[in-house]
Amino acid sequence: MGAVARKAKTVQQERVIGEQGERTRVKLLEAARQVFLERGYSATRVDDVTKKAGTSHGAFYLYFANKQDVLEALAVETADHMYALADELEGIEVGEAGYQQLRAWVGRFVDAYERHSPVVNAWITAEMEDSRFDQLGREVLGQFAGRIAHTIERGVDAGLRHPVHPGTAAVALVSMLERFCYFWLVRGGPFKRDVVIDTIAAIWYEALFGQRQQA
């Protein structure tokens, strides 16, 4: 049946964006972030975004090719934050100081998750439908897991027993962190921030360096 050559879509010709345009673009990005949170990625309509941004429907297409495109812009920003967070994991040490470092880091992760959760979740949804996001997701996960695995291995070299396979444990720990934040911050679980951070930091610490010496 229908197979007549379809003209290539007019690829939006790299419009140069002025100051006013940039402001509108940011408004749209923030609105999208917002709507992704409220309705989820697949249920989000371009119209929801423009309504929230207070622009016309058409304005959206001045700055983005489509829904995926906005998500991509947001996701890249988020990925950068994530990379930075992952890098901060490098210096964690054994001992009480290390535990405190870890605790602080988990706190920062939680903050970041809270800010970026709409994007993360949209992203996860989109992974199923678009391989580009899948790829980006793998990269970020890999970055995290690599840092953690490295830390575990350092512990092992230092003579600490480790109950687990570093690469696998690393992904498990990230999974835990990410998913817990999801249940807590997105789905709205009844947890207290301090307790959460203590609990997660403790589990991480033991997985990284073994039993903690407590008073």
List interacting residues with DNA (CB under 7 A). Answer: 1-4, 6, 8-10, 15-21, 23-24, 44-47, 55-62, 65-67
Return the number of the residue (156 or 172) whose C-beta is nearest a second copy: 172
From the list a second copy, DNA, none, partner contacted by residue 193 (C-beta under 5 to 8 A by kind): none
Nearest alpha-carbon partner for 123 in 46, 70, 189: 70
Return the number of the residue (90 or 129) whose C-beta is nearest a second copy: 129
C-alpha–C-alpha distance, residues 78 and 82, integer Å: 6
C-alpha–C-alpha distance, residues 66 and 32, integer Å: 11
Please identify which residue in 40, 107, 146, 160 interacts with a second copy, judged by CB under 8 A: 40
From the list a second copy, DNA, none, partner contacted by residue 56 (C-beta under 5 to 8 A by kind): DNA
Q: How far is the CB of 87 from DNA (least distance, A)?
A: 35
When asked if residue 42 is in the footprint of a second copy (CB under 8 A), the reply is yes
Please identify which residue in 35, 103, 200, 209 interacts with a second copy, judged by CB under 8 A: 200
Stretch that binds a second copy, among 26-34, 82-90, 107-115, 132-140 (CB under 8 A): 132-140
C-alpha–C-alpha distance, residues 129 and 66, integer Å: 14
Return the number of the residue (111 or 206) whose C-beta is nearest a second copy: 206
Return the number of the residue (4 or 215) whose C-beta is nearest DNA: 4
Stretch that binds a second copy, among 27-35, 84-92, 106-114, 130-138 (CB under 8 A): 130-138
C-alpha–C-alpha distance, residues 4 and 93, integer Å: 63
Alpha helices (H) in 128-210, listed in sequence order:
131-157, 166-181, 193-209
C-alpha–C-alpha distance, residues 178 and 68, integer Å: 22
When asked if residue 88 is in the footprint of a second copy (CB under 8 A), the reply is no
Nearest alpha-carbon partner for 208 in 113, 108, 83, 91: 91
The H or E element that residue 36 is part of is helix 19-39
Long-range contact set of residues 69-72: C-beta below 8 Å, sequence gap at least 24: 70/28, 70/29, 70/32, 71/32, 71/36, 71/41, 71/119, 71/122, 71/123, 71/126, 71/133, 72/132, 72/133
Q: How far is the CB of 138 from DNA (least distance, A)?
A: 25
Residues that bind a second copy (CB under 8 A): 1-7, 11-15, 39-40, 42-43, 51, 63-66, 68-69, 72, 121, 125, 127-132, 134, 137-138, 141, 161, 163-165, 168-169, 171-173, 175-176, 178-180, 182-184, 187, 189, 191, 195-196, 198-200, 202-203, 205-207, 210-212, 214
